[in-house]
Amino acid sequence: MDFISHDEKTIADMLKIINVPEVDDLFQDIPKDLIIKSLNISDGMSEPDVLDKMREYGIKNKIYPHSFLGAGCYFHYIPSLVDFVISRSEFYTSYTPYQAEASQGYLQAMYEYQSVISRLTEMEVANASMYDGSTSLAEAAIMASIISGKNQVILIEGVHPEYIDVVKTYCWGQNIELKITSEDKLNDVLSEDIAAVMFQSPNFFGDITDVLVMSNKVKDKYPNCLLIQCMTDPTCLGLLKPPGKTNVDIFVAEGQSFGISPSFGGPGLGIFTAKKKFLRKIPGRLVGKTKEINGEREGFMLTLQAREQHIRREKASSNICTNQALCSLSALIYLVSLGKTGLREIANQNFQKAHYVKKAIASIPGYKILNKKPTYNEFIVRCPNINGLIRECKKMNLLPPLQISTYFPEMSDVVLVCVTELNSSSSIEKFITAARLAINNETECAN
Amino acid sequence: MDTNEFLIFNKGNELVQQNFIPKLDIKSEKIEEILPRNLIRDELRIPDVSEVEIVRHYVKLSKINYGVDSGIYPLGSCTMKYNPKINEVVARMTSFSQLHPLQDENEGTLEILYEISKMLGEITGMDGFTLQPAAGAHGELVGLLIIKKYFETKGIIKKKIIIPDSAHGTNPASAKMAGFSIIELQSNEHGEVPLDHLEYAMKQGDVAGIMLTNPNTLGVFDRQIKDITRIVHEHGGLCYYDGANLNPMLGICRPKDMGFDIVHLNLHKTFSTPHGGGGPGSGPVGVTNEFIPFLPIPCIVSTDKGIICNYENHESIGRIKAFWGNFGIVLRAFVYILSLGADGLKRVGQIAVLNANYLKTLLKKKYNLPFDRICQHEFVLSDKYLPNDINTEDIAKRILDYGFYAPTIYFPLVVNGALMVEPTETESKNSLDKFVEVMYQIYDEALNEPEKLKNAPSNTPIGRLDAVNAARKPILHD
């Protein structure tokens, strides 16, 4: 199936108009020895055959009905209308809205997305989206370096390990020096030469930072040093003080939690926001409200494009072109579907349920909660028998929590537990039982 | 039509039943008792709107938006082909959409990633692929970082990249992000790379290589491509292929055979995954054997234990995105390749070129065609010689009045007043003929009723918008 509608006669008619005898003649500019005979790829397949084949791949993936795994990718409920709206083909089969008059629907939706993100984060400007949380953080580091003219940035431990790796790669590309430090030692590395301090809150281990304290610590001494916060599950903003209220200069987040399926980690959504004074250094697209040239009606269009690569080429603030527009539409529909009441309740449930599990696990002898600060929907636990816990979870059809050793080999007996609104009391009780059973099986496992 | 549909924020604040949150079935505590007050948010200015209102609002907005399913979308260099619906069905299968990136028991997905890497290798000739990059420009950055790392590893300092003036804007921007400066090369009178200038530039010594798209943005296949890559290699440089224009080459010829070392593809162009209004995309990067060690981590490799992910790669440029790239998009492209097979892919290349040449032959009867040659996937008209001071923007806006989308305008920069047209293979002859008819009619209007073009669009939900004011006093949210 090739989705082409020409029959042989049509092709012959078209060739006659072009005035060449054969289709092959259209490739006359290509040196003969570069033309290949055929591709070594199997024959095309019909829809039912493709679907059969894809189901075969699918059954080799195990999907669990309940999960205690998060770590940067989260299971939250997605209202049915989200997929319905983004499946309107006028949206999903359109290109970047360069022709504003034929793209008002999407442009307005993008403007609404920027608005709803501004409202949620209380940040003054939000762009129309980036690839994901990790690349947004890396772009924020570069932006800070451009703004300040300084090429050193500090990253505080506790940022998602994969994000740190991405930031490292981007910084190496731009010859920016990245200094990684703990929060306690921040003062030792802060200096006039630092463009920005980057941190995550709630962080990878679940800890919630008092951001205002942090920003005062940085800004009192170095008022021009930028504060960059990142976040991997921004549903917490229904409960926690937003970055716009804590003097954060650039706030970025992974927006997958807002109505986007896990889908093996992508596509997600890079949320990128900043203070207004940095507007002209922001990477990515921006949609603005304006008026007709010869009229009074308001409309929407891409704006401040002089920052972007298609106009500025190597002087652009970033190379980003294609972003995650359709995912930003999912986020918009998700956020307005929940509304303020729903967003507060989602955050409350994530917090309450995780807190409940945390307390229950802490009460089982042998388990130790390692977080020293308050947490939202994730926390870390030292386990007496980590392999037993993973095995018991799977037996009960629960997707087990992350073994922290994935990223930190020295923490071999620690898991990162994630509890969301989708964890019903029955799945929670199963998890607590699994944790208990893991201890009983300790000897068995040691063998 | 009611044009400026009220913003969603102006709707709500009704009494709305919360339908999307499960019942809280555990014992809860007072938040203030377990979380310090100073960490808790006060106001949240997002309205509560009912489901019916929301659906109607966005369905209404969708009706004032144009997609490929609405009609021809002749945006040059964007490859707006039909997006097969089966791709969407597969991407929504629970076994893929609900798979967590950090879980094991994911063999089905790893196999798919491995298989499509092989397929893309066959299509481009390349020996290894990464599927991590989230978009074309992201792929370019990865490719340029590989070049940077390659020379760093060898202890050679190379600071410049050659980029022709016809290149996509992302090329110079990506090279800059990888720390390179740019040498811009002017195209010659055929729209091709002038070999003498190329050789001169390469002789400067600190040139890491060239970024090239072939066919280029004029839709022209560079006949001297083998000489170009030879010259660059002879002077110790590397050749990067911008795969944005790969569509007409499918099953016809391959970047590696042209002499390229590194290539990125745009799955959201060539491999039919939807553009989604500007993403999400996917920009896999393929390399020849020599550069496989530099690919980003993690890599998918086949071992005697099955297909696994490799995180250990000491020469790797590092990680460039969390998790695995845009798997949901890669999956759609995989379904597309399975559906088409080898013969289907070749037909894509052939018919994409047939359609472009057909349109070009008919449109050049009325419009200026600066580079009049057999074209590949696209061609570029200009507004030169149009009567009554009619310019490219006027033409584009008038096309919207006839219910079609406009071509890419004012790009490539090498043609003044460019109108860049790429029909793709999925347009029928009937659809192309209708577009030609409209373009002829617009030409007649330019002659006889120029005000219709100057005032265009008049048949869209809104008239021409004030871009200057939008940028001077930006209003970016409500």
**What's A401's domain CATH number?**
3.90.1150.10
Average pLDDT over residues B64-70: 96
Q: How far is B199 from chain A (nearest CA, A)?
A: 21
In a domain, A356, yes or no: yes
Close Cβ partners of B16 (under 8 Å, ≥ 6 residues apart): A339, A341, B48, B49, B50
In a domain, A56, yes or no: no
In angstroms, the CA A29 to CA A447 distance is: 69
Q: How far is B232 from chain A (nearest CA, A)?
A: 19
Say if CB A431 and CB A357 are below 8 A apart: yes
Q: Class for domain B350-467, per CATH? A: alpha beta
Tell me: do A189 and A270 sit in the same domain. yes
In a domain, A51, yes or no: no
Q: What does the domain layout of chain B look like in residue ranges? A: 8-63, 85-339, 350-467
User: pLDDT for A402-433, tens place per residue?
Assistant: 999 999 999 999 999 999 999 999 999 999 99
Tell me: do A289 and A153 sit in the same domain. yes
Burial of B190 (0-12, 13-18, 19+ CB in 10 A): middle
Bin B341: left if φ > 0, else alpha if -120 < ψ < 50, else beta. Answer: left
Tell me: do A357 and A311 sit in the same domain. no
Q: For the whole model, what pTM was predicted?
A: 0.97
CB B322 to CB A335 under 8 A?
Answer: no
User: pLDDT for A334-375, tens place per residue?
Assistant: 999 999 999 999 999 999 999 999 999 999 999 999 999 999
Q: What pLDDT does B12 receive?
A: 65
Confidence of residue B295 (pLDDT cuts 50, 70, 90): very high
- Tell me which of A124, A282, A314 to substitute to probe the interface with B (most B C-beta atoms closer than 10 Å): A314
Nearest by CB to residue A60, choosing from B107, B181, B475, is: B107
Confidence of residue A440 (pLDDT cuts 50, 70, 90): confident
CATH number at residue A269: 3.40.640.10
Q: Does A362 touch chain B (CB under 8 A)?
A: no
In angstroms, the CA A174 to CA A252 distance is: 20
Boundary residue ending a domain (A335, A359, A376) = A335
Q: What pLDDT does A447 receive?
A: 39
Both structure tokens of A58: 């699918």
In this structure, the number of other CB atoms found within 10 A of the CB of residue B44 comes to 18
Tell me: do A343 and A331 sit in the same domain. no
Boundary residue ending a domain (A335, A364, A398) = A335
Q: Class for domain B85-339, per CATH? A: alpha beta
In angstroms, the CA A268 to CA A253 distance is: 10
User: pLDDT for B21-52, tens place per residue?
Assistant: 999 999 999 998 889 999 999 999 999 999 99
The tally of domains found in chain A comes to 2
- How does the average pLDDT of chain A come out, rounded? 96
Higher per-residue confidence, A311 vs A94: A94
In a domain, A36, yes or no: no
Tell me: do A322 and A351 sit in the same domain. no
Boundary residue ending a domain (A313, A335, A357) = A335
Chain A residue with minimum CA distance to B465: A292
Q: Does B306 touch chain A (CB under 8 A)?
A: no
Confidence of residue B14 (pLDDT cuts 50, 70, 90): low
Q: What pLDDT does A315 receive?
A: 83
In a domain, A111, yes or no: yes
Q: How far is A360 from chain B (nearest CA, A)?
A: 12
In a domain, A55, yes or no: no
Percentage of chain A exceeding pLDDT 90: 94
Q: B324 contacts in A (CB within 8 Å)? A: 264-266
Tell me: do A293 and A439 sit in the same domain. no
Both structure tokens of A138: 């890396």
In a domain, A407, yes or no: yes
Average pLDDT over residues B209-225: 95
Q: Does A109 touch chain B (CB under 8 A)?
A: yes
Q: Give me the residues of B, 78-107, that contact A with CB < 8 A.
A: 78, 80-84, 86, 88-103, 105-107
Q: How far is B370 from chain A (nearest CA, A)?
A: 17
Q: B393 contacts in A (CB within 8 Å)? A: none
**Where in the sequence is the domain holding A330, given as residue range(s)?**
80-335
Tell me: do A260 and A138 sit in the same domain. yes
Q: Does A195 touch chain B (CB under 8 A)?
A: no
Nearest by CB to residue B39, choosing from A69, A210, A268, is: A210
Tell me: do A324 and A381 sit in the same domain. no
Average pLDDT over residues B147-172: 95
Tell me: do A223 and A320 sit in the same domain. yes
Region of poorest pLDDT, from A299-313, B185-199, B372-386, B420-434: A299-313
Q: Does B67 touch chain A (CB under 8 A)?
A: yes
Say if CB B286 and CB B121 are below 8 A apart: yes
Q: Does A397 touch chain B (CB under 8 A)?
A: no
In angstroms, the CA A165 to CA B132 distance is: 14
